[in-house]
Amino acid sequence: MPRKKILYISGSIGLGHVSKDFAIAEKIRAQNPEVEITWLAADPADIVLETKGEYLHPYSKQFASYSAFAENASKGTRLNLFNYVLSSRRGWIRNVKIFKQIITEEHFDLVVGNETYEIMIALIFKLLKIRIPFVIIYDFLGLDSMSGRMSERIGIYILNWIWTKDYKIFSAKNMQALFVGEPEDIPDKKLGFLLPNRREYAKVNYKFIGYIILFDPPKYNDKIKIREKLGYGEAPLIVCSIGGTSIGKGLLDLCNQAYPIIKEKFPGLRMVLVAGPRLAPETIEAHAGVEVRGFVPDLFQHYAACDLAIVQGGFSSTLELTALRRPFIFFPIEGHSEQESVAKHLARYNAGIKMYYYRTTPDSLAGQVISNLNKEVSYRPINTDGAQKAAQLIYQLLKSEAPQ
């Protein structure tokens, strides 16, 4: 029997999506080690996959970076998703052309795309045809106008209207939309005037798989053991991270400014600023005693070792900290409607402390850190078997015979 071949398109904005994708891929391989996975991923997702020893399609070098679009559309630590979509248009067109060329020239048995909206839109408008099974992965549904501008409100309405047409794709037996999370993670409101209710639409057209993390949380309960492995001592440890874009540089600067204030209370304090793959560590002028790092593989291990984390409001990092039961402060990117949805999700689990960059001073951040450093948390437990569920659904499609 010939090997089954999957083309997996990973990336979206930041690093959270690719960590979920790798977790799913590992579960697929556990079910059938003969499955061959080829990755199509741009910077910075390609960096993560390379560290894992994964095979990247040569066209990955030409694939447009979602994170670069986000950085271009951002203003300081603000990012409006509508502006992001507008800045992405040319890159999306290029990505569709590259994808079409790949599936025309090469044989694959199935395609998985994590938030590959450009491919979804091309399919909706019949600019692209796929004869093999196709799976898309979402973790939110619908955009919201954050500025109130009439042009933005009209644009958001059009984008949400297009989104409501994806059922035409995923109603086919060899197509499927998976949602990372639970129905309660989707706002119980309409996508727009005369458009369907978001939550009800998702219940009908998507399969909910729960949450995905790359590791087994109970294996990281022993903080002392993890610290020894990573070279940390017994001193209080704060890990600050901004993920896979350079948008959060201001947040790292803020953490650095708060460090001397916190250190007055905790003299042995150690703070690590993780700039990630798209921000040069040397751009941060750190206080003595503050360590600045670039890309850190398996950052969740450092979260497991810390006494408190300060992060942007991304879905993956906050989910990992919730699963690890570590106290954390998170800063949603302002104007980013998806990260506001993440904040509501965290509130349901009583997890994390939400703050806003433009309303926070070094003193107020230091005060929150001092109050919560190494504090025992009362988060609701979360189910993190989403990778296994996703892999099962994908593998079922992979085994089925695609229509000719």
Check whether residue 222 and residue 191 sit in a common domain.
no
Q: Which of 94, 84, 136, 143 is nearest to 114 (CA)?
A: 136
Same domain, 273 and 143: no
Whether residues 42 and 172 fall in one domain: yes
Considering the domain architecture, whether residues 272 and 313 belong to the same structural domain is answered as yes
pLDDT at position 404:
37
* CATH number of the domain bearing residue 160: 3.40.50.2000
Whether 185 and 247 share a structural domain: no
| CA 255 – CA 90 distance, rounded (Å) | 36
CB neighbours (10 Å) of residue 198? 22
Measure Cα distances from 147 to 126, 144, 334 in Å.
Answer: 32, 9, 11
Give residue-wise pLDDT tens across range 142-194: 999 888 789 999 999 999 999 999 999 999 989 999 999 999 999 999 999 99
pLDDT for residue 155: 94
Point out the residues of the chain with pLDDT beneath 70: 1, 336-338, 401-404
* pLDDT of 403: 40
Q: What is the pLDDT of residue 223?
A: 94
Decide if 82 contacts 145 (C-beta within 8 A): yes
Pair (187, 200) in one structural domain: yes
What are the structure tokens assigned to 335, written together? 């104007």
Same structural domain, 182 and 233 = no
Tens digit of each residue's pLDDT (9 = 90 or more) over 233-273: 999 999 999 999 999 999 999 999 999 999 999 999 999 99
Same domain, 200 and 270: no
**pLDDT score of 164:** 97
Say if 379 falls within a structural domain.
Answer: no
Helix, strand, coil in percent for the chain, rounding step 5: 45, 15, 40
Q: Which domain holds residue 177?
A: 5-212+385-399
Residue 135 lies in a domain: yes
Residues 154, 11, single domain; the answer is yes
Number of folded domains in the chain? 2
CA–CA distances in Å: residue 221 to residues 229, 306, 335: 13, 12, 35
Q: Read off the pTM.
A: 0.94
Q: Domain check: are 196 and 109 in the same one?
A: yes
